[in-house]
Chain A
């Protein structure tokens, strides 16, 4: 997987400090996402003595150089001296500092020098120059990215080459540049980046494939992607290869599969009508993948499985929402819960993502609704209630989906029994979950009036009465109380045990 190339974390860096750093990053990412500015880059940095701390090590990133020092380095590189390679190496290390990067690109001829070395046929110069460019690509200053514009056509040209390491470096450099500046994307698209990637995706090398996935994922997240990028991608051979690589992820390479799964998600959630992917059989293919993932896990759960599972769930959910197609395979339900059993505790967010899919699976499919119950998955479903606020609402929605299918399934729910589990929900403050709970109760009482009596007996009325003062719940709470207080009428279908009802 991608992580294999990174420098080791510095010795002596405390676990607590790492966690703190992660929390900081996480907070920054959440904020960025809410502002719709979620941008991240990857950095390939070699394992070398000077870089023990790895990407995050503050000690390892060199201090900024002065303008004169940067100029000196540039001159040293331009001179054709014996130690040119050494100078380039020193430049590269200096360029790990963002200020130095900015100073460097402002020097006249600097990027041109790097470009020249990058396009020479002196292999080790070329590699070192490529690494310098890669450092530059990691800058968060768009002017630095734009300074690298002259090099883009060469980055693309070299993608058709054969050196795995060099190609990988070019790919990650491109991916970083792509995400930073629209000017870069406006240049790369006419330069033919999509056809080149469509060729590269047929490479047999996992490292190259992962890089291709990375570049694509950055392109697809661009704000202009629905208009400028996605149609071109869908028109190429990329979709079928992406699907193939996602589905062979377990055997062939999790890193690449993860990247392409996210690519598929970015396409599907932004593109109105995903006929191309549907025609390629994305729904059965991704379903099979989940089945495979679930049946392989217990012994050797690979690290990062959640990174693959998450976008696959999303793709399926959105594809199902787009078409009326049914996934009639109850093994998918088993697979989802087995995966949750393995991953949920560490990755709570998977709860709501799975529930979204469960909603889309059960919304208009009595078969799967019934399967959920007969496979005895209801207790696990209810266990998902505390994952998050959205998870609670979705659990209740799925229960509503089941109850809405009619008296037969309502009765099975009540037999579970489900009423005692709903009562505590009625005392929670979240209006959205409460509202959904009331809807559920309504469906249960509607199809099985007997349930109303049970509800009263269990003290549900008091809970309902509390909500009469909340504007958005008031009407429904009152309507339920009314239902509950009505004397039982003619024998309801729920009294019988014959299944023949609709």
Chain B
């Protein structure tokens, strides 16, 4: 039986008439709802679910005659139909509100926070790197920022394997230079964009106009850069007194010689074995990776030779 007070205790006076035959589900202001009693379910349902309900021979199934939906007789209008509800439908309001309460972190049941595991201090395992950490995440981030995607030729680090690969190709691969004279070799940096260009400048123009990248995008330095005063190519406007930045940033911006790799320097280097994080399958040019025994600590000054004339 239904509980004694079913939906709504509002009076009828003043309720506006509704359009006849409307099949829409109208929103109503909610009045106090009674507490829900538990659902009266027959026993054994869970078992039937898990084991799959056997075909019950005693169950009578209505015969499957081709159904012409019978026309409803006026004034009755009911015809069964599947409902499709759009994003703003009133029926979805409660669920949407619940979802947003969750996003805002207001659902009390989810307040319990798992403590982050504390570890005692440890240092970076790359030899020569002296950075110390007390959280795994801090270490992981350091490793990924400094040691993971590093060019073995010029020691620059890159935020992703993709950018590193592009860099190596364009800066340190002489075959690339040769081929670039005949065909468009400069790949667009945006993932998923197939365009290629004949010069670094053309690519930059494309990045700026089509992909709305900043003109001074840090990871698209053109290869031949004369010694440029640092504040015009640096993305930050800073005074000269920026010692920490200089030791790292400046070295990256000034032109380091692309070391011409002779055949003797090609090395098959496996990835460092102790990755803190299982990595995604990566396309790698193994011969350009740094052996794990070599470290590039942050703040290390980097050698700068004058521009070498091409022989």
Contact = CB atoms under 8 A, between A and B. Distances in A.
Contact of B219 (A78, A157, A205): A157
A471 B93 contact: no
The 4 closest A-B pairs by CB, nearest first: A195-B192, A116-B236, A349-B94, A160-B160
A26 B141 contact: no
A502 B98 contact: no
A157 B149 CA distance: 13
B241 interface: yes
Interface in A72-92: 78-80, 84
Given A192-B191, A349-B95, A393-B25, A6 B111 contact: yes
B49 A500 contact: no
A205 to B, nearest CB: 8
B273 interface: no
A160 B162 contact: yes
Contacts, number: 417
A119 B2 contact: no
Nearest to A189: B212
Nearest to B77: A439
B22 to A, nearest CB: 8
Contact of B242 (A80, A262, A320, A439): A80
A21 interface: yes
Interface string A415-454: 0000011001100111111001011101100100000000
Interface string B88-105: 101111111111111111
B278 A204 contact: yes
B77 to A, nearest CB: 7
A176 to B, nearest CB: 10
B147 to A, nearest CB: 10
A387 interface: yes
Contacts of B87: 221, 266, 269-270
Interface residues of A, number: 170
25 contacts: A22-B107, A36-B88, A42-B103, A79-B241, A115-B235, A121-B146, A122-B244, A126-B145, A161-B144, A162-B148, A163-B137, A190-B212, A270-B87, A348-B33, A374-B59, A375-B45, A385-B6, A386-B34, A386-B36, A391-B7, A421-B2, A429-B12, A438-B76, A471-B17, A475-B20
Interface residues of B, number: 139
B277 to A, nearest CB: 6
A153 B84 contact: no
B110 A432 contact: no
Contacts of B159: 157-158, 160-161
A97 interface: no
B193 interface: yes
Contacts of B34: 386
A244 interface: no
A101 interface: no
A389 B24 CA distance: 12
A194 B192 CA distance: 9
Interface string A383-411: 10111111111100100110011101100
A161 B277 CA distance: 12
Interface string B215-255: 00111000000000000001111110111111011000000
Contacts of B27: 390
A3 B91 contact: no
A63 interface: no
B248 to A, nearest CB: 6
A120 B247 CA distance: 11
A400 to B, nearest CB: 5
A55 B106 CA distance: 9
A7 B64 contact: no
Contact of B140 (A8, A164, A502): A164
B81 A363 contact: yes
B46 A295 contact: yes
A502 B62 contact: yes
B161 interface: yes
Contacts of A84: 244
A135 interface: no
A344 B39 CA distance: 9
Contact of B241 (A80, A311, A386): A80
Given A195-B192, A364-B67, A392 B86 contact: no
Given A195-B192, A348-B36, A331 B80 contact: no
A9 interface: yes
Given A196-B191, A439-B78, A470 B7 contact: no
A280 interface: no
Which of B42, B70, B106 neighbours the largest number of chain A CB atoms within 10 Å of its CB? Answer: B106
Chain B, interface SS category: loop
A440 B80 CA distance: 11
A187 interface: yes
Nearest to B31: A389
B274 interface: no
B6 A349 contact: no
B6 A386 contact: yes
Given A29-B97, A341-B38, A472 B17 contact: yes
A448 B78 CA distance: 17
B241 to A, nearest CB: 6
Interface stretch (A351-359, A455-463, A486-494): A351-359
A192 B211 contact: yes
Contacts of A470: 17
A444 B149 CA distance: 73
B98 A317 contact: no
B62 A366 contact: yes
Contact of B52 (A109, A124, A331, A442): A331
A334 interface: yes
Given A153-B212, A154-B218, A390-B28, 11 more contacts: A55-B104, A113-B236, A121-B157, A158-B160, A195-B191, A321-B84, A338-B49, A383-B39, A385-B6, A424-B2, A431-B17
Interface stretch (B112-120, B258-266, B287-295): B112-120
Q: Which of A47, A221, A363, A431 has the largest count of B CB atoms less than 10 A from its CB?
A: A431
A424 to B, nearest CB: 6
Given A331-B49, A363-B82, A390-B91, A21 B106 contact: yes
Nearest to A421: B2
A452 to B, nearest CB: 14
A195 B236 CA distance: 29
A165 B277 CA distance: 11
